[in-house]
Amino acid sequence: MIEEQVVLVSPDGQPIGLQEKMQAHRDGALHLAFSVLLYRQGANGREYLMQQRALGKYHSGGLWTNTCCSHPRQGETIVEAGIRRLQEEMGISGVSALEDVANFIYRAQLDNALVEHELDHVLIACTDELAFEPNPDEVMAYRWWPELELVEAVEVSPELFTAWFPQVLSHAIAA
C-alpha cells in the first residue's frame, strides 16, 4: 500500500514539503486541502449535495459535511483532486469542472487525538442530472439539502457538522 502524503504549506499557500497524512493530522501541520460542494437549483433556490461521513472514517465519522473533501496529491491541481475525490467518495463521474471560489485556514481539535490544520479551497459546481453511488467506506448517508434549511441546521445544531463545513457553506453561498 502506498503511503498517502499531504502537501505542507506556509500560511500564504506556498508548498514547503510533504508529510505522511496521519502524521500531519497528529502534529497539526498546516497542509493543503479542498472541500467540494455541489448544488442544484431547486424550486426554492439552491440545494446542496451533502454527505454524512462513514462511522469508520479516521475522524469526524457520522458528521454531515460537503459533497466530498480531501487533499491534493503532489503535482495534482486542486480542481483535478476535487474531480478525483468526487469519483472515489461519491461515485460521481459527470462533473468535469469545479470553480475554486475561496480558501481559508482553520485549525480544529478533532476526535481520535487528531488536529485538522488546513488551507482549505472551496470548490463548487452547479449540477442538474447527476448519477452517483457513494462509497460505503466513505459515506453512510447523503441528501440534497435546501440552502435555508441547511443554514438553520448549522446554526441550531453545529455539532452535527464537520469543523470546516460552516466556513465552506458561507463561502459557497457568497459565490
In this prediction, the residues of the chain whose per-residue pLDDT falls under 50 are none
Provide the annotated binding site.
25, 31, 71, 89, 116, 118
DSSP string, the chain: -PPPEEEEE-TTS-EEEEEEHHHHHHHT--EEEEEEEEEEEETTEEEEEEEEEPTTSSSSTT-EE-SEEE-PPTT--HHHHHHHHIIIII--------EEEEEEEEEEE-GGG-EEEEEEEEEEEE-SS------TTTEEEEEEEEHHHHHHHHHH-GGGB-TTHHHHHHHHHH-
Q: What is the pLDDT of residue 7?
A: 96
Provide the annotated binding site for Mn(2+).
25, 31, 71, 116, 118
Longest dimension (CA), the chain: 46
Provide the annotated binding site for Mg(2+).
89
Question: What residues act catalytically?
Answer: 69, 118
Q: What is the pLDDT of residue 43?
A: 87
Q: What is the pLDDT of residue 1?
A: 52
Q: What is the pLDDT of residue 96?
A: 87
Q: What is the pLDDT of residue 2?
A: 63
Q: Domains in the chain, please, with CATH?
A: 5-174 (3.90.79.10)
Question: 4 to each of 9, 21, 73, 157, how far by Cα in Å?
Answer: 16, 6, 8, 33
As a whole number of angstroms, the distance between CA 175 and CA 173 comes to 6
Q: What is the pLDDT of residue 157?
A: 98
